[in-house]
Amino acid sequence: MEKQILKVSHVNAYIKQLMDKDFILKNLSVQGEVSNYKAHSSGHLYFTLKDDESTISCVMFKTHVQNTGFEIENGMKIIVQGAVSVYERSGQYQIYVRKIMQDGLGKLYQEFEALKRKLKIEGLFEEDVKKPICKYAGHIGIITSDTGAAIRDIVQVAKRRNPYIKMTLYPALVQGPEAALTIIKGITYFNQEKNVDTIILGRGGGSIEDLWVFNEEAVARSIYASVIPIISAVGHETDFTISDFVADLRAPTPSAAAELAVYDYYTLQNNLNQFELTLRQAMYRQLDFKKKKLELLEVQLSHQHPRLKFERKYQYITELEDKIKMLMENILRRKKHQVNLLEEQLKGLSPIQRLKEGYAYLSDLELNKIVSVKQLKSNDKIMVTLSDGQVIATVDVIDYNKEV
């Protein structure tokens, strides 16, 4: 007898029918770890539940999601309640989840999320309240275990970056019931002393229980209240704690915190040397420019200098003086020549010169001049003035010219 040939859809429908009738598969609880988590825009949740050996796909429809009460994350340990059935289109069997409960560590996740939401609402995570990390810190405060790997990593990285950096360790417990109190005391100590520029708070990796002290509310509020900026460096890069959210800066590891807190001395020194060289070159260029400009101004000033104007005026005055002297000399020569001519003419008209030529000047004894014989009579006394003296004479004879 020939076997019946079935369609794929028939096979998937038959398997689904068998599973839906199975008493155990209709209502079961499965424990596992969440992976491949995806919240669809429709409101449905899709994820994989896994243990050390196997995985199974899960889907939770929107109507059941509303009753969950907490956010699901990859890595979370949960217990799901629901039914196993087949999705006929793909032939894949999966758990149709009706309820999710946190398993073991899930309670810690729930506490973590509750505190996270609370502090976020209060504004402890806001960026505008975070203090800037000192860019060139000279003194670093460290709060961590004095025996753990974290302090060794921090010191090693810090000294490699800056051999002159000063570090002060406040030894604290980083896990256990007393850890929160020692961490708070460390933060309080540095804030009271005010002797450090930055505080590094952290420890190495571990389980969520190991890191739990950094999720405690008292520690978070102490970090927030710190006047000195704090870098949180807890666990590995994938680990997040409340301290990371409330701190002024989160570092993925303690080593990374040292990188962020301590400036690279050698890079800074190199940059300063480069800046010095650039500054010197700029100064030399500026000085050279100013020198050339000064030389140009000196040339311009030399043409406009008051001394030069004075010298030019002085030269002009000197030239005028020489010209005046020359004109005066010419005038004097002409006047002297004229005087000489007049002198010669005057000599020709001078009575003294006439007297020297043999003429005489007649006057009475009262010096009244006598110009006519009519002014005289016999026996009158007259004075005869010659070129070299006077003579007193008596008139003896008066002879009139016949023509008169």
Note whether 171 and 214 are same-domain residues: yes
For 183, counting Cβ atoms within 10 Å of its Cβ (0-12 exposed, 13-18 middle, 19+ buried), the class is buried
**Residues 165, 74 share a domain:** no
The predicted structure's pLDDT at residue 401: 78
Structure confidence by residue, pLDDT tens digits, 183-211: 999 999 999 999 999 999 999 888 777 88
Is there a domain that residue 303 lies in? no
- The answer to whether residue 271 sits within a structural domain is no
- Report the CATH number that the domain containing residue 90 is assigned in CATH: 2.40.50.140
| Spatial separation of the C-alpha atoms in residues 308 and 317, rounded to whole Å | 14
Q: What is the pTM of this model?
A: 0.52
Domain extent at residue 390? 353-394
Which CATH number do you get for residue 209?
Answer: 3.40.50.261
Residue pair 255/155 in contact (Cβ under 8 Å)? The answer is no
Cα 83 from Cα 94, distance rounded (Å):
8
DSSP letter at 369 equals: B
Domain count for the chain, please give it: 3
Report the C-alpha gap between 248 and 229 in whole angstroms: 6
Please report whether residue 318 resides in a domain: no
- The whole-number pLDDT of residue 338 equals 87
Q: Are residues 95 and 118 in the same domain?
A: no
Q: Do residues 83 and 145 both lie within one domain?
A: no
Residue 50 neighbours by CB distance under 10 Å: 14
Q: Which residues of the chain have pLDDT under 50?
A: 404
| 279-314 tens-digit pLDDT | 999 999 999 999 999 888 887 777 776 776 777 787
**Is residue 167 assigned to a domain?**
yes
- Residue 101's Cβ-count burial label (10 Å; 0-12, 13-18, 19+) is middle
**pLDDT confidence of residue 187:** 96
Listed residue (97, 106, 114, 108) closest to 72, CA to CA: 106
- Inside any domain, residue 241: yes
**Of 230, 246, 263, which closes a domain?**
263
Do 81 and 117 share a structural domain?
no
115 and 256 within one domain: yes
Same domain? For 35 and 163 the reply is no
Supply the pLDDT for residue 251: 94
- The Cα diameter of the chain in Å comes to 223
Query: Could you tell me which residues are beta bridge partners of residue 49?
Result: 34, 56
At 403 the pLDDT is 60
Q: Which of the listed residues 196, 228, 263 is the one where a domain comes to its end? A: 263
